[in-house]
């Protein structure tokens, strides 16, 4: 199975990306297990976390066949290569950097860059993005997403990221969101596995109820 196929399957199973900003390698295994048990299949460790490559390596090995793991806040080509070397397959960025996107695509990785404007969205797709991250979602709205969706190629997956909670998935989904990136409302440093399990279950239930 190609990485693209694995991403498509994971996204179809549960299109929620767990953003684990601040995760440490010591807690990575327990956190990953809780998320997968709740139904998450896509996990992102931002590169401004402590020892992020070590955490990504831990999770990619432990969750192989159960979830795709990669990096967030990927800002340059060197970071793409570093993530690939430790087994990460997701390359998530807050911005539209076509060099990063092209490098990820060339390595067979899944690039999910951030965008705010149609120009950025089309540049990202042309460079090889597999999905688009509307970030920060607080600076947009479901109405903005609905308007952008009318001009994007059919089937383009757009994921709002920023300020997403179990209670506001509905309007975004109705406007055409294919999935969501979820940060501090799901995980923050110090959250216990027990609390994470409750939060994760709430997000999964809210998505399945759409």
Give the span between the Cα atoms of 48 and 186, in whole angstroms: 18
Strands of 39-155 (E only): list them.
Answer: 42-46, 68-72, 90-92, 110-112, 114-115, 132-134
CA–CA distance, 125 with 156 (Å, rounded to integer)? 9
Which helix (H) or strand (E) segment is 181 a member of?
A: strand 180-182
Of the candidates 26, 44, 64, 120, the residue annotated as catalytic is 44
Is residue 44 among the annotated active site residues? yes
How many CB atoms within 10 Å of residue 187?
Answer: 23
Structural element, H or E, at residue 81: helix 77-85
Distance CA 32, CA 18 (A): 10
Task: Please give the Cα distance from 127 to 198 (Å, whole number).
Answer: 38
Q: Which residue do the tokens 């990306």 mark? A: 17
Q: Is 86 in contact with 59 (CB distance < 8 Å)? A: no
Q: Which of 126, 133, 138, 146 is catalytic?
A: 133
133 labelled catalytic: yes
> 81: how many CB neighbours lie within 10 A of its CB?
12
The set of catalytic residues is: 44, 133
């Amino acid at each position: 199975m190609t990485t693209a196929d694995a991403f498509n399957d994971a996204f179809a199973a549960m299109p929620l990306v767990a953003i684990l900003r601040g995760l440490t390698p010591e807690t990575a295994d327990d956190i990953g297990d809780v998320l997968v048990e709740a139904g998450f299949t896509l996990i992102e460790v931002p590169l401004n976390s402590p020892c992020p490559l070590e955490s990504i390596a831990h999770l990619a090995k432990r969750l192989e066949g159960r979830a795709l793991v990669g990096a967030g806040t990927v800002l340059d080509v060197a970071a793409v290569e570093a993530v690939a070397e430790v087994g990460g397959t997701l390359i998530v960025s807050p911005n539209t950097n076509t060099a990063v996107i092209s490098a990820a695509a060339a390595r067979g990785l899944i690039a999910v860059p951030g965008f705010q404007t149609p120009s950025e969205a089309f540049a990202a797709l042309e460079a090889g993005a597999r999905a688009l991250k509307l970030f920060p979602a607080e600076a947009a709205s479901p109405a903005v997403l609905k308007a952008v969706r009318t001009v994007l190629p059919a089937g383009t997956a757009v994921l709002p990221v920023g300020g997403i909670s179990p209670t506001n998935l509905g309007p975004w989904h109705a406007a055409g969101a294919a999935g969501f990136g979820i940060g501090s409302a799901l995980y923050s440093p110090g959250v216990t596995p027990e609390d994470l399990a409750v939060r994760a279950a709430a997000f999964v239930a809210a998505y399945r109820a759409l």
